[in-house]
Amino acid sequence: MKLLNVAGYVLLASVLCPLAMHSQARVPQHPLDALTTEEYWEAHEVLQKSGHLSEKTYVSTLLLHEPLKSTVLAWKEGDAIPREADIVLEAEGKTVEARVDLAAHKLEFWKVIEGAQAPFTNTEMDAIAEVSKKDPRVLAGLKARGITDLSTVHCQPIPLTFRVFPEEEGHRIGYGTCTDERGAYHYWGRTIENLYILVDVTAEKVLSVVDRGPIPMPTGDASFEESEAMPREGTTPLLVTQPMGPGYKIDKGEVSWQNWNFRFRIDPRVGAVVNLVKYKDGERLRSVMYEGSLSEMYVPYMDKDQGWSWRAFLDAGEFLMGGLFKPLTSDDCPDRAQYFNGLVPSDTGSPMLKPRLACMFERTLDNPAWRHGEPDLTSGRPSRELVLRTAAVVGNYDYILDWVFQQDGTIRVAVGATGIVETKGVKEDHVEHAMGDGPPKPEYGTLVAPHLLAVNHDHYFSYRLDLDVDGQNNSFMIDRLVPQKVEGAVRKSIWADESSMAHTEKDAILDLDPKRPGMWHFINPAQHGAMGYPTGYEIMPGATGVAFAAADDPAQRMGQFATHQIWVTPYVPEERYAGGTYVTSGKGMDGLPAWTAFNRRIENTDIVAWYTLGFHHVVRLEDWPVMPTMWHDFLIRPMNFFDKNPVLTIPHQP
């Protein structure tokens, strides 16, 4: 019987119990481990004893406060483990930051953050939903639509991301609509449109109700789960098995697989945080990345109607209620996957154990790692890879978020978008003359069902990538492919590779332009490979989109990080979120735009890259009632890090 010692528990290997869920360790093994149940309660106790709490103080976020990088890098097994928790509280309209030293049972500070708003808590959301549904103006609006049975109606105001109303100064303002789930088993696609509610969450009252008149309820079939499963003709089983168990190991939270070593935790704000990523190159265990994680999301909708122009989300910073990161199922990960639980805080700060927040598995894509054919000999090797997967559910939308480790030293970061597209009730029950020879089709969305418009929108994912290539001091090198005129040869024009170093942050705020291509490298100026090149890693975009709305747009101000594809900053422990720490009712320009305004030096020092993967979404009928998964990705890949192809010697069996 093979045993895996996972984070303090001895658990059966997935070979015997493929769906076994591996819990959080009760005692942290490493300074970067997620907070444990005991630590949640320790924080709770310290806060309770602090004398600062009223009955209406709610925990909005509760996160591991990472020790200093120098501390972590110096730490070795057996040393004391520094442990702190960062807590953001909503205290009767005030936003409070507190830090608890868990080992010392001590409140380090409790400070009111002026002008900032904590993420909405479930308590607030539930309370204002109740208030909204009882408001006479709302009731009148519902009645005007013939809706008097309120038992099936939800009125759910949600936080306003950007600051546009004077009421937002000092008050938490939400907006929303009602839905009627009548006839379906969920309420998506069942919007009671044209009835818009603005609420003061702090004062627990409805500020205003705008009723632009009844329109028909959408009637499209939203019941995607009830559809009968119909295996397609001729389908035969396709089985992937690992009879000897997985090819990776997890020892005290450290994953080792095919020359890779790394740790990870589930953070309730940004999900999977991958740490201390190293590659074993011969006898050397070489540093690639100190930390990588999602940092923020930005999802602006593109409808100018009242009640809709409010809709822009910075999902990671806004929606921590219960955690963005939701349980995975056996349809999300293969049977052989190993699952990992995680803890997220309740409004009182108590830990809620969420099962299966991540899964890990090996797969072969049936692609060669390399190959070459000569007339008499074709050589090659099959490849496999390791996937660390989480899924975020943000209301209607679902995102599959993968960190994929390849044998050749490449990390592929992939985002699969699925779930339900956001819809709006409209008058139209079909589109006429969609061909340009009559009235135009709706320019703000796609009519996916009668009276149901799936509204155009964008998705942006900012990743914080604290690469430490062969150590902390790195530089950001840009290799631009520059056109060059040729004289005295048969060619007239070629391109040359011109390397330059980014000296300060402004040098490293870069846009993709297919006609002016460039490559983005983290290099270690002090480490050179066999041929003399500095060792490096490249951040290589996949297909991606840019947020191109005007700069004075309040949503765009919040999502300004998405207007450029890469930014590079000096490592500062507090700089973790591309859109700033507090995005609820934000004024914008926080995070990357604010930090880089100082144009700090980023050369030969500890630096962090911020890459934004984005895409525009004009919805297809095929995306309704639930969207086929659409993937986007980018690569973090070795660039003169190894002296030669690192997968030359892998065997012929995948």
- Kindly tell me which residue out of 68, 494, 572, 597 binds its own copies, with binding defined by CB under 8 A: 494
CA angle, residues 265, 271, 273, in degrees to nearest 5 = 45
Q: Which of 137, 354, 363, 600 binds its own copies (CB under 8 A)?
A: 363
Q: How many CB atoms lie within 10 A of CB 551?
A: 11
Pairing type for strands 191-200 and 205-211 reads antiparallel
Q: Output the six-digit token pair for 159.
A: 């936080």
Is residue 497 within the footprint of its own copies (CB under 8 A)?
yes
Give the β-pairing of 57-65 and 84-91. antiparallel
Question: If binding is defined by CB under 8 A, does position 454 make contact with its own copies?
Answer: no
Nearest CA among 626, 615, 636 for reference residue 297: 615
SS3 category, 44: helix
Q: Does 247 bind its own copies (CB under 8 A)?
A: yes
Give residues 78-137 in contact with its own copies (rule: CB under 8 A). Answer: none
Angle 333-255-320 from CA coordinates, rounded to 5°: 60
User: Do 350 and 44 touch, CB atoms closer than 8 A?
Assistant: yes
Cβ neighbours of 259 (radius 10 Å): 19
Q: Binding its own copies by CB under 8 A: which of 65, 549, 587, 600? A: 549
Q: How far is the CB of 584 from its own copies (least distance, A)?
A: 15
Q: Are 43 and 103 in contact (CB under 8 A)?
A: no
Q: Which of 411, 481, 467 is nearest to 602 (CA)?
A: 467
Considering only 545, 559, 580, 586, the residue that binds its own copies (CB under 8 A) is 545
**Judged by CB under 8 A, does residue 268 bind its own copies?**
no
| Dist. CA 72–CA 30, nearest whole Å | 9
21: contact with its own copies by CB under 8 A: no
Say whether residue 446 binds its own copies (CB under 8 A): yes
Query: Is residue 248 flagged as an active site residue?
Result: no
CA-CA distance, 169 to 356, in Å (whole number)? 39
- The maximal CA–CA distance of the chain, rounded, in angstroms, is 85
Query: Which listed residue (1, 230, 283, 574) binds its own copies by CB under 8 A?
Result: 230
Q: Which is nearer to its own copies, 96 or 562 (CB)?
A: 562
Tell me which residues in 281-340 interact with its own copies (CB under 8 A). 300-306, 309-310, 312, 326-327, 329-334, 337
Name which of 80 and 530 has its Cβ closer to its own copies.
530
Residue 376 identity: D
- The window from 24-32, 115-123, 263-271, 540-548 that contacts its own copies (CB under 8 A) reads 540-548
Instruction: Check 315, 398, 402, 468 and give the catalytic one.
Output: 315
Using the contact rule CB under 8 A, the part of the chain among 51-59, 528-536, 576-584, 605-613 near its own copies is 528-536
Q: Can the peptide bond before residue 625 be classed as cis, meaning omega within 30 degrees of 0?
A: yes
- Give whichever of 6 and 81 is closer to its own copies, judged by the CB atom: 6
Task: Determine if 213 is a binding residue for its own copies (CB under 8 A).
Answer: no
* Selected range binding its own copies among 25-33, 466-474, 480-488, 583-591, rule: CB under 8 A: 480-488
Q: Is 249 in the site for its own copies (CB under 8 A)?
A: yes
Contacts to its own copies from residues 143-202, by CB under 8 A: 162, 164-165, 186
The answer to whether 434 contacts its own copies (rule: CB under 8 A) is: yes
CB of 112 to its own copies, least distance (A): 28
Q: Which stretch binds its own copies (CB under 8 A): 16-24, 102-110, 210-218, 444-452?
A: 444-452
Q: Please report how close the Cβ of residue 420 comes to its own copies at its closest, in angstroms.
A: 6
362 binds its own copies (CB under 8 A): yes
Name residues whose C-beta falls within 8 Å of residue 152's C-beta, 6 or more positions apart in sequence: 180, 181, 182
Catalytic residue among 40, 58, 301, 397: 397
Strand, coil or helix: what is 563?
helix
* Binding span for its own copies by CB under 8 A among 59-67, 112-120, 123-131, 383-391: 383-391
Residue 489 touches its own copies, criterion: CB under 8 A: yes
Footprint (CB under 8 A) of its own copies, residues 573-632: 616, 618, 620-629, 631
| Residues 533, 524 contacting (CB under 8 angstroms) | no
> Radius of gyration (Cα) for the chain, nearest Å?
26
145 vs 336 by CB, closer to its own copies: 336
Our finding on whether 517 is near its own copies (CB under 8 A) is yes
- 5 touching its own copies, by CB under 8 A: no
If one asks whether residue 496 binds its own copies (CB under 8 A), the answer comes out as yes
CA distance 458 to 364: 32
Q: Which of 409, 425, 559, 580 binds its own copies (CB under 8 A)?
A: 409
Indicate the residue among 295 and 418 with the shorter CB distance to its own copies. 418
For its own copies, the closer CB: 499 or 599: 499
Nearer to its own copies, 41 or 165 (CB): 165
With contacts defined by CB under 8 A, name the span among 95-103, 201-209, 483-491, 586-594 that binds its own copies.
Answer: 483-491
CA 621 – CA 146 distance, rounded (Å):
29
The answer to whether 159 and 172 are in contact (CB under 8 A) is yes
Q: Does 502 bind its own copies (CB under 8 A)?
A: no
Element (H, E) at 145: none
Q: Does 211 bind its own copies (CB under 8 A)?
A: no
Q: How far apart are CA 356 and CA 18, in angstroms?
A: 13
CB atoms within 10 A of CB 93: 14
Q: Does 19 bind its own copies (CB under 8 A)?
A: no
Interface with its own copies by CB under 8 A: which range of 143-151, 313-321, 347-355, 432-440? 432-440
Of these, 12, 541, 587, 600, which contacts its own copies (CB under 8 A)?
A: 541
644 sits near its own copies (criterion: CB under 8 A): yes
Active site residue 315: yes
Q: Which is nearer to its own copies, 387 or 509 (CB)?
A: 387
Q: Is 1 in the site for its own copies (CB under 8 A)?
A: no
What character string, x for contact with its own copies (CB under 8 A) and - otherwise, covers 557-576? --------x-----------
CA distance 608 to 330: 35
DSSP letter string, 565-634:
SEEEEE--TT---TT-S--TTB-S--SHHHHHTT--B-SSEEEEEEEEEEEEE---GGGSSSEEEEEEEE
Least distance from its own copies to the Cβ atom of residue 406, Å? 8
Distances in whole angstroms, Cα of residue 536 to Cα of each of 162, 470, 475, 480, 645: 39, 8, 9, 16, 14
**Measuring CA to CA, how many Å separate 220 from each of 177, 191, 224, 303, 308?**
19, 11, 11, 21, 21
* Catalytic residue annotation: 315, 397
